[in-house]
Amino acid sequence: MINKTVKNAQEAVADIPSNSMLMMGGFGLSGIPENCIAALLERDINGLTIVSNNAGVDDFGIGLLLKKHMVKKMISSYVGENAEFERQLLSGELEVDLIPQGTLAERVRAGGAGIPAFYTPAGVGTEVAIGKETRVFEGKTYLLEQWLRADFSIVKAWKGDTAGNLIFKGTARNFNPIMATAGKVCIAEVEELVPAGELDPNQVHTPGIYVQRIFQGKDYEKRIEQRTISQ
């Protein structure tokens, strides 16, 4: 069985060039590839297109890449927690493609499944539909959406093995598993890395066939975006 481990995040992202298209897993700040983001910040690259459900916050996650002006385009669903994102969008520094969350997930899933396009009712009659084909099925109008694929998928799992099999925990399952399938190269960082054969196959969410590089991360902060306190 192939051992897909690399030493660390720096080695994992060392060959990502400028102008790459990246998928980054996570939902809010849950399950984001913190170590790989930190390693990318050390690289002298720019012009990145990033597909992610959200854009992080100003001082954490993808927000750090935005702050360093490494990103030229965001393809996202929710971006309301990042003031720097807003500033760059309004000033014309950042190109943004906002997509309904379910449509974003399905476009990524379609990319991983090899399905180039599909019809969805989400966005019909709104700005989302401008320039896109529509078709009526059983009396209801649907919008044609295309798959999303990337040069690199960067995901974060709870546990993985040296063959690249991954197990995600909780909310981290929202986008990480489908993104792992939709990149030409999938890089996985995990909280715990075990030898091949130690994971229960019935618990694996992403089979190792989709993963090219894996390493055990460290120093995860696991922040919370919004904290509500009652007195």
Residue 165 sits in a domain of what CATH number? 3.40.1080.10
Mean per-residue pLDDT, 82-96: 90
Neighbours of 61 (CB within 10 A): 26
Using 50, 70 and 90 to split pLDDT, how confident is the model at 157?
A: very high
Give the DSSP H or E segment for 157. strand 150-161
Neighbours of 60 (CB within 10 A): 17
pLDDT at 78: 86
| Alpha helices per DSSP H over the chain | 9-12, 34-41, 62-67, 83-91, 101-113, 176-181
Q: For residue range 107-124, list pLDDT tens digits in order.
A: 999 999 999 999 999 999
Q: Which domain holds residue 93?
A: 9-116+147-216
The tally of domains found in the chain comes to 1
Using 50, 70 and 90 to split pLDDT, how confident is the model at 159?
A: very high
Mean per-residue pLDDT, 64-81: 91
State the pairing for strand pair 48-51/21-24. parallel
Rg of the chain, C-alpha, whole Å: 18
Burial state string for 82-95 with b = 16 or more CB within 10 A and e = fewer than 16: bebbbebbeeeebe
Is position 227 within any domain? no
CA torsion angle for 180, 184, 185, 188 (degrees, to 10)? -10
Q: Are 36 and 189 in contact (CB under 8 A)?
A: yes
- Measured CA to CA in angstroms, residue 145 lies from 17, 118, 123 at distances of 28, 6, 10
Is position 105 within any domain? yes
Mean per-residue pLDDT, 14-40: 95
Tell whether the model's pLDDT for residue 223 goes beyond 80. no
Is position 121 within any domain? no
The whole-angstrom separation of Cα 94 and Cα 202 is 42
Take residue 74 and report the two structure tokens written for it.
């965001």
Is position 127 within any domain? no
Tell whether the model's pLDDT for residue 222 goes beyond 80. no
The whole-angstrom separation of Cα 159 and Cα 41 is 25
Neighbours of 198 (CB within 10 A): 12
The whole-angstrom separation of Cα 77 and Cα 141 is 22
Is position 43 within any domain? yes
Is position 132 within any domain? no
Is position 77 within any domain? yes
Is position 161 within any domain? yes
Mean per-residue pLDDT, 32-45: 96
pLDDT at 225: 65
Q: What is the pTM of this model?
A: 0.92
pLDDT at 180: 97
Using 50, 70 and 90 to split pLDDT, how confident is the model at 228?
A: confident
Using 50, 70 and 90 to split pLDDT, how confident is the model at 29?
A: confident
Burial state string for 127-144 with b = 16 or more CB within 10 A and e = fewer than 16: ebbeeeeeeeeeeeebbe
